[in-house]
Structure 1
């Protein structure tokens, strides 16, 4: 888990970003040093929970084992997964993340509503690395079906 990137469990799980008090830009991953908006004179950065739901902006599947620092066991066979870019309308940002277990590109469509959920990136006998994942929201329809690229 990356400290300060998310909080909560179950339905209370939320990604955490930061918002600039001067220009109201929202950042994820969080920014603690300065506003990243080049047109902003600079303001205080405050932690804000991000929307739990958004709409698929784009998606694809992974067919290769990514390089370090991605954690994967080279002794196990590689299992492809869907990667989803989700637009959070209220924050006006796009957040990238893996699809939840069992969700494939065949289950996805641009414009479909999805929600963020906790997930396991990797685990061993001593440690479980927690991350966020996206899954179709209950009743989350909409958007046009488009082939993933």
Structure 2
């Protein structure tokens, strides 16, 4: 039996005919863009807007920073000691059009040696974890190859 593919957070990303995209919201009054999405009010302190429109975010951005996560997080963070710890790379990506930085894990196999500040990356579908019933889906950042960038 196939396991259900379940987003780790519903409404933060989608895969459709336009490809895999992070989803944010834009204020109809001041045009500020938010991720994670905001559905109640504009988070811009200079705006009292409440009209928020769902918008797909840019697929590509540039590395703003990154860190190499090599140890199991301490309590109170949830981390099952029965599961072998796998290091990962966390990437902060600047989306120029939205004027924001979005965090996410690097795609499997991407290491800090593959990254540099200013390097172009793109958002791709990822898997955060699996259990007997579900595959928990998320997003990852993958470096754009020189051929893809051209």
Q: What is the TM-score when the length of structure 1 is the normalising length?
A: 0.87
Residue segments in structure 1 that go unaligned for 5+ positions in a row: 142-149
Superposition deviation, residue 73 in structure 1: 3.9
Q: Please list, as runs of the form range in 1=range in 2, the aligned pairs for 1:1-149 lying within 5 A after superposition.
A: 1=7, 2-8=9-15, 12-66=19-73, 72-139=79-146
Q: Deviation at 1:26?
A: 0.3
- Distance (Å, rounded) in 2 between the aligned partners of 1:112 and 1:26: 23
* TM-score, normalised via structure 2 length: 0.86
How far off is 1:76 after superposition? 2.4
- Per the alignment, in what secondary structure is the counterpart of residue 106 of structure 1? helix
Separation in 2, partners of 1:69, 1:9: 36
What is the aligned length? 141
Q: Deviation digits for residues 57-100 of structure 1, max 9, x if unmatched? A: 00111022235786654222211111000000000010000000
**CA RMSD across the alignment:** 2.1
CA separation of 1:81/1:8 partners in 2, compared to 1, >3 Å: closer, same or farther?
Answer: same
- Judged with a 3 Å threshold, the aligned counterparts in structure 2 of structure 1 residues 11 and 102 are, in CA distance, closer, same or farther, namely farther
